[in-house]
Chains A and B, each alone.
Chain A
């Protein structure tokens, strides 16, 4: 039997329109909004794990901060979602950017641990050595729309 889902019945929200933008920073939300949730066939945007406001971009100082909100407090997928975000941004952004990924304050039981794990270079690199994890990440990143 497959293991039980952590959040079996998430609330699904509508997708926002995609306006054509000119500022380079806004393009970032286009990169990560379509990442698929590891558990459900919905995008992170549809589950409101990521919203447009939660992304902070500074093109001049080459800095990006993403704050995401797990669907439930004890979500063990939070690290996987974070990893997906990091990999996607690594692939989509020029190397000059520094990327910070954080769980929104007060939305996860082990907030600090997750944050530390996600922003530790060595740990991320180690995670990406794990073929199972890379597979899972790649599945989430497969473009769902064209």
Chain B
């Protein structure tokens, strides 16, 4: 060892041992770490360190001795991963064990013992025994402080965990010491340890003849006093949770059957208490104990257990979140699951249960489901689904009687509610039982008693359920019928009691309801859901026996429905039914898609040829269903590209062959729907399929236009152009486009002719496909029509496409628009307004095109980019502008930009923007046409007002803001503007007192007008706001 190291080491030791206040705990920790590092790196040996420590360990100064021993102990904890020589360990543990008698320096001794004891394998049994002996002789655990007690418990825990043989040789004494140590403990952290101590101690003495037996009662008396765990101070300062403690105590309770004679009576007693939390706890503990102790031991308690359990269930309130009830049912299930028949017998023989079942015919009033009946049914449900034996027993004793009762009563007008309900629940319970076991291993149930019984009554049950489903006028009865039938149909295929013919009958009944009984919407929906559930179950369990029946009876019939015209069933219901059934699996879906395609084709053709309003309606329903349900469903299916492709191609085929004549308003709607569906169908296709569709569409388009170059207004042409636009809008950026120039030409031509969808297509084309010269050509072409609103609209969409892509050319577009606004005040006002609105087009998100679903290329932060380009120009232009029209139009453009920019970006520029915004609000509010823009702008202002970052700018401009808001409070054209303005004023009252107080009078006066507003919500806001401003004055008294 080098001298410098020694000096260094000694310095650290002195720092640590020094008890005067000159050294902070952090410094002492640092020196501890430093020494530990030296030891770990073998710079010094443990022996030499002990020699250095020397006096510190044995001095008669208690404080220094305590620090010295603690230093050594802490070091041992820190180098626990470093192997040490046996002799060293032996002498160290001897030292620490002996030090346990030194109560003035106890902490170090405890820490040291623990650190060494945890080196399992390095410590011989004699050493461990020496520690234990010294512990037993010297320590009175409960007289120590909290942290020392915790260390003591950890030592005991370590002894039991690592040195069980040593502990066993000590026998009774050790158990006694533990009893003594844990008696009266109150600290949650220590309690957690003590509970665990008892648990592992019990595991150490598994049989009842050992020393634990004699102490079992004492031990349990100590433990039992903690039950149920309850904190008098709900928010304890340490982080031990009540749940954690409760769980530890539960494990301790259930650790050994020796506790049973004391634990069960205690738990039963607490179960009868009126405190809900103690009831829940008792039930939880009882459940766990039942599992751990085993049925044999629990047998003697069955009688009292059942009666208290029944009490708890009956007195608890019926609701889903009722913890007592759910825990009680868990306990019931555990009890039945554990034993073989005894407990179920108690239930079967129970007077209350029998009484209720006998008096079932009294339960006539369905809407007040009697609490008692529901409880009994719950008990029976749990008992039935717990085990096969219990299921047998319950079926044997009750089922035949119940079915007979049901049958007898079904002759009357309304079947009896009680029987219907209870039979359904029992069926559900045994299905639950079958399904539970089905997942792990397959049992042949067919020899079980309950299966025989069920088989015998199956047909009469089905009959009664069908009867109540069909004939009852009340929803409750018919739905119970549907539920019963559904459960019968949901038994797995290899389950014989419900035969295949029964299954088919049930499906047939369901379908007849679907076809004939569509007027009763709740029943119809209920049956449809049942069918879907049955279908999905068959699909999930790969049931080959039932699958064909379902195919024939349900799927084929529903598919046929689509083409049948003569039924009274509404077409929308048919489409709904078909699409829902189709979603069960791919096979059905493909069949249904085929049928839907056919239906779409026929209805489209009809509506084209004669404009029949009914066919138009049908076509729209079908297309909407395709758009909303079928296409999204296929997105989750792999390799389903062809569905969308086929659909798109088919529509193009139709349009090619058709001779379209009609052109009505209804048809415009149909065209819109078709476009939407076309867009989404094309968007769902892969790149190759898209180019295939595009080719076809382009061919048809060019053919049509070769034939009639001159006349463009024919309805068929409009359809072709619009659908072609839809295809372009939905293209993928990577799709190969063969002749972009020609397409562009077409789009430009139709755009000038007034097709707005062509503008969308143009924007999408420039957004997705890399074109160089074409952009310039299109730009100069469109700008040459500067007095044409359509061309300018096209330019706006083109600008949006380029902006989202991040293309440089967008600057030219923006420059053109800005120049248009600033320079040309001579032009038509409508035209200028259109140009101002094109900023709105560029900034806002659109549903029709250029969004994520339609594969737009979207650069992040593109809105912020436009904001930063346009802001300075508009700002200076507004300041310079002289004509009021130009000024108002510039403000309109600016408002579009501001209200569409993310708030965080606006906040960054708040100081500059707020005066502009207020100017804009004042100018724009003069014209009714601007009211939506005013509202949007006001929303941005309220956003700035409520954000912390905006406060500074608001305070600076407080007066002009308040003046502007005061005007808007009486804005006549829009209620929302008034309401928001008042809310903003309320927010303003929170600004620093000195800034806003001067305006109080003015605001209160303005608000008195708003108090008489014709709209109620405005008046209410005004009252709140006036209250806020009026009470500003009295707040001054507190400052």
Q: List B residues 1019-1033 near A (Cβ within 8 Å).
A: 1019-1020, 1023-1024, 1026-1027, 1030-1031, 1033
Docked Cα-Cα span, A130 to B1031, in Å, equals 14
A143 vs B1025: C-alpha distance in the bound complex, in angstroms?
12
Q: Does chain B have a CB within 8 A of A56?
A: no
A135 to B1034: give the CA distance in the assembly, Å: 6
* Residue of A92, A96, A134, A138 touching B1023 (CB-CB under 8 A): A92
Interface string of B541-573 (1 = CB under 8 A from A): 000000000000000000000000000000000
Q: Which of A64-95 contact B (CB under 8 A)?
A: 91-95
CB-CB under 8 A from B1011, the residues of chain A are: 92-94
Given A131-B1034, A138-B1034, A96 contacting B1026 (CB threshold 8 A): no
> Which residue in chain A gives the minimum CB-CB distance to B1019?
A27
Tell me if A141 is interfacial: C-beta within 8 Å of chain B.
yes
Which residues on A sit within 8 Å (CB–CB) of B1009?
Answer: 94
Q: Are A27 and B1034 in contact (CB under 8 A)?
A: no
Question: When chains A and B are docked, how far (Å) is the Cα of A97 from the Cα of B1024?
Answer: 18
Q: Which residues of B contact A96 (CB under 8 A)?
A: 1012
Contacts of B1016 in A (CB 8 A): 22, 24, 27
Q: Taking CB as reference atom, which chain B residue is nearest A136?
A: B1034
Residue contact A135 to B1023, C-beta cutoff 8 Å? no
Residues facing B in A95-146 (CB within 8 A) are 95-96, 131, 134-135, 138, 141-143
User: Number of A residues whose C-beta is below 8 Å from B?
Assistant: 18
Kindly state whether residue A31 has any CB partner on chain B within 8 Å.
yes
Q: Give the complex CA separation of A94 and B1012 in angstroms.
A: 5
What residue of chain B has the Cβ atom nearest to residue A132's Cβ?
Answer: B1037
Q: For residue B1014, which residue of chain A has the nearest CB?
A: A24
Q: Give Cα A139 to B1016, complex, Å.
A: 26
What are the interface flags for A1-43 relative to B under an 8 Å C-beta threshold, 1 for contact and 0 otherwise?
0000000000000000000001010010011000000000000
Which B residues are CB-close (under 8 A) to A134? 1033-1034, 1037
Contact, CB under 8 Å: B1008 / A131: no
State in angstroms the CA–CA spacing of A138 and B1020 once bound together.
18
Nearest residue, chain A, Cβ from B1013: A94
Considering the complex, give the chain A residue whose CB is closest to the CB of B1031: A138
Q: A131-B1034, A135-B1037, A138-B1034 are in contact. Are A91 and B1027 (CB under 8 A)?
A: yes
Q: Counting chain B CB atoms within 10 Å of each CB, which of A22, A91, A134, A138 scores highest?
A: A91
Within 8 A of A (CB), among B813-870: none
Question: How far is A134 from B1030 in the complex, measured between Cα atoms in Å?
Answer: 11
Asked whether, in the complex, the Cβ of A91 is within 8 Å of the Cβ of B1026, the reply is: yes
Q: Which residue of B lies closest to A62 (CB)?
A: B1012
Complex: A143 Cα to B1023 Cα, angstroms = 11
Q: Is the CB of B1031 within 8 A of A141?
A: yes
The interface residues of chain B lying within 8 Å CB-to-CB of A95 are: 1008
Nearest CB of chain A from residue B59's CB, rounded to whole Å: 59
Contacts of A135 in B (CB 8 A): 1034, 1037
Contact of A91 among B1019, B1030, B1034, B1037 (CB under 8 A): B1030
B1026 / chain A contacts, CB cutoff of 8 Å: 91-92
| List of B residues within 8 angstroms of A92 by Cβ | 1011, 1023, 1026-1027
Q: How far is the CA of A142 from the CA of B1030 in the complex (A)?
A: 11
A37 CA / B1034 CA spacing, docked (Å): 19
Q: List 23 A-B contacts (CB under 8 A).
A: A22-B1016, A24-B1016, A27-B1016, A91-B1023, A91-B1026, A92-B1011, A92-B1023, A92-B1026, A93-B1011, A94-B1008, A94-B1011, A94-B1012, A95-B1008, A96-B1012, A131-B1034, A131-B1037, A134-B1033, A134-B1034, A134-B1037, A138-B1034, A141-B1027, A141-B1031, A143-B1027
* A interface list, Cβ under 8 A from B: 22, 24, 27, 30-31, 91-96, 131, 134-135, 138, 141-143
Q: Closest 10 interchain pairs by CB?
A: A94-B1012, A94-B1011, A138-B1034, A92-B1023, A138-B1031, A91-B1026, A134-B1034, A131-B1037, A91-B1030, A95-B1008
